[in-house]
Amino acid sequence: MTGEKKCWSRLARNLKLEGENWKVRLIEEDFMKRMWDVEGV
């Protein structure tokens, strides 16, 4: 796990309230692909 991912993981744990369940999906790679996809524009 990279340092940045560890940081976000720690932040999410601190924000989550007791009894809550969260699903976290890293979207950076998908975002970059879609942000620069100009096909059909």
From the first residue on, what is the mean pLDDT of each consecutive set of 10 residues in the chain (41 residues)?
A: 67 82 83 80 65
In a domain, 41, yes or no: no
The domain tally of the chain equals 1
In a domain, 12, yes or no: yes
DSSP output for 5-40: HHHHHHHHHHHPPTT--------HHHHHHHHT--TT
pLDDT value, residue 5: 65
In a domain, 24, yes or no: yes
pTM: 0.34
Distance, CA of 31 to CA of 34 (rounded, Å): 5
In a domain, 40, yes or no: no
Instruction: Write out the residue range of the structural domain in which residue 25 sits.
Output: 3-35
